[in-house]
């Protein structure tokens, strides 16, 4: 397979056009790496070795560099994860408002430990650092996007149920 074919498999034409636009934001197209990795992750949920190689071809960056970048940033997943990624903050402001107990509650309820995925592939849970929402502690982020704030056991129960329904 040549590079072109790879990239067409990884990205749609619209996405490729978008990537061209992103490249034009920087004097050096290699700087488009983070935004392009975001596109891959949002589409596939994680960034595989093959994806990294394709992105490398597209932006003319060696695979090793991309691997280094993907593993440096905690939000990039270099392994597949569950459909719903629950990231619970346990840093100070959340911790003193029950963040750790909340994490344990979710962990016990789902029967998985930190960074593990439930056997049905639905939920991955992760203890994370401060998400910049300390006023609404304890809180968590779902799928790198939505914040759920001022959490209680009741709110978590309801939310997990909803997320489960939405994702089967």
Partner 1 sequence: MKIILKDIPDLQKLDIYESNGGYSTLKKALKDMSPDDIINEVKASNLRGRGGACFPTGLKWTFMPKVTEKPKYLCCNGDESEPGSFKDREIFEKNPHQFIEGTLLSCYAMGIKTAYVYIRGEYYKWINLLQKAIDDAYKKGYIGKNILGTNFSTDIYIHRGAGAYICGEESALMNSIEGKRGYPRVKPPFPATYGLWGNPTTINNIETLANIPEIIKNGHEWFLKIGEPKHPGTLLFGVSGHINKPGVYELETGTPLMTIINDYCGGMIDGKEIKMVIPGGSSMPPLTKEEALTIKMDDASLKAIGSAIGTAGVIVMNEDTDIVKVLERISQFYYHESCGQCTPCREGTGWLMRILKRINNGEGRIEDLDLLTDVSQNIEGNTICALGDAAAWPVKWTVKKFRDEFEKKIKKESVSLPVKNKVHSLR
Q: What residues make contact with partner 1 under the rule CB under 8 A?
A: 25-28, 30-35, 37-38, 59, 61, 65, 68-69, 72-76, 90-93, 95-98, 100-102, 105, 129-138, 141, 144-147, 150-153
Rounded Cα–Cα distance for residues 11 and 85 (Å): 23
CB of 132 to ligand FES, least distance (A): 6
The continuous run of DSSP H or E covering 124 comes out as strand 123-128
User: Which range, of 66-74, 113-121, 134-142, 156-164, touches ligand FES by CB under 6 A?
Assistant: 134-142
Query: In the numeric block, which tokens belong to residue 5?
Result: 């074919």
Number of Cβ within a 10 Å radius of residue 78 = 14
Query: In the numeric block, which tokens belong to residue 96?
Result: 């003193």
Size of the site for ligand FES (CB under 6 A): 11
Nearer to ligand FES, 57 or 149 (CB): 149
What single-letter DSSP state applies at residue 149? -
3-state SS, residue 102: helix
CB of 98 to ligand FES, least distance (A): 11
Of 66, 110, 51, the residue nearest 84 (C-alpha) = 110
Site string for ligand FES, 83-102 (x = CB under 6 A): ------x-xxxx--------
| 133 interacts with ligand FES by CB under 6 A | yes
Rounded Cα–Cα distance for residues 87 and 114 (Å): 10
| 40 interacts with ligand FES by CB under 6 A | no
Residues β-bridged to residue 110 = none
| 139 interacts with ligand FES by CB under 6 A | yes
CB of 134 to ligand FES, least distance (A): 3
What single-letter DSSP state applies at residue 91? S
Give residues in contact with ligand FES (CB under 6 A): 89, 91-94, 130-131, 133-134, 137, 139
């Amino acid at each position: 397979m040549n590079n072109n074919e790879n990239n067409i498999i990884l990205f749609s034409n619209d996405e490729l056009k978008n990537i061209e636009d992103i490249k034009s934001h920087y004097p050096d197209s290699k700087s488009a790496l983070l935004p392009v990795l975001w596109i891959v992750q949002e589409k596939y949920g994680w960034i595989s070795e093959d994806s990294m190689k394709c992105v490398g071809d597209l932006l003319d960056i060696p695979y090793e560099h991309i691997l280094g970048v993907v593993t440096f940033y905690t939000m990039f997943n270099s392994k597949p994860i569950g459909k719903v990624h629950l990231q619970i903050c346990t840093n100070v402001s959340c911790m003193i408002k029950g963040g750790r107990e909340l994490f344990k509650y979710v962990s016990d309820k789902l029967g998985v430990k930190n960074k593990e995925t439930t056997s049905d592939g639905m939920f991955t849970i992760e203890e994370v650092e401060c998400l910049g929402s300390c006023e609404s502690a304890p809180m968590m982020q779902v799928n790198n996007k939505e914040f759920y704030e001022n959490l209680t056991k009741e709110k978590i129960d309801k939310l997990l149920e909803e997320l489960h329904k939405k994702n089967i």
